[in-house]
Amino acid sequence: MHLLIAIINNPDYVIDILDEFYKVDVRGATVMDSKGMAHIIADHIPFFARFAEFGKDPSFNKTIFVVIDSDESRKKAIDAIERIVGDLNKPDTGIVMTIPIDFCKGLVKTEGDELLR
């Protein structure tokens, strides 16, 4: 198992990403508001403020966390994200990473739409 972390630069994309996750059977994501280091610094050091604000207010991102159980699910999740935000190698799209999970308790497995315990 792995934890997939996706930092999405445009918060407006998150609902579409979650819809895509549902279509490819990636479930159980958690979404949190997040803010990049440059924007935090800009809030406290006026000199940096001019570098942090270009175009639309980018001061807040959304970070999606989801437990992935296979390489196939990871690929489906990343492909789903890129269908919405575009190529993640391009600037101002987002960042996706995975971290191995060596222990997890409390996940509910699903088969179709039925919960199994």
The string of pLDDT tens digits covering residues 26-75 is 999 999 998 877 666 766 666 655 555 554 455 689 999 999 999 999 99
CA atoms within 13 A on the CB side of 91: 1
* Confidence band of 110 (pLDDT split at 50, 70, 90): low
The DSSP line for 59-114 is S-EEEEEEEE-SHHHHHHHHHHHHHHH--TTSTTSEEEEEEE-S------EEETTE
Q: Would you say residue 116 has pLDDT above 70?
A: no
Which pLDDT score, from 0 to 100, does residue 93 have? 93
Q: How far is CA 1 from the centre of its chain?
A: 17
- Tell me which residue range forms the domain holding 19: 2-116
Percent of the chain residues past pLDDT 90, beyond the cut: 62
How many domains would you assign to the chain?
A: 1
**What distance in Å separates the CA atoms of residue 73 and residue 1, rounded to the nearest whole number?**
10
Six-digit token pair at 12? 């407006």
CATH number at residue 77: 3.30.70.120
> Residues 76-90: pLDDT tens digits?
999 999 999 999 999
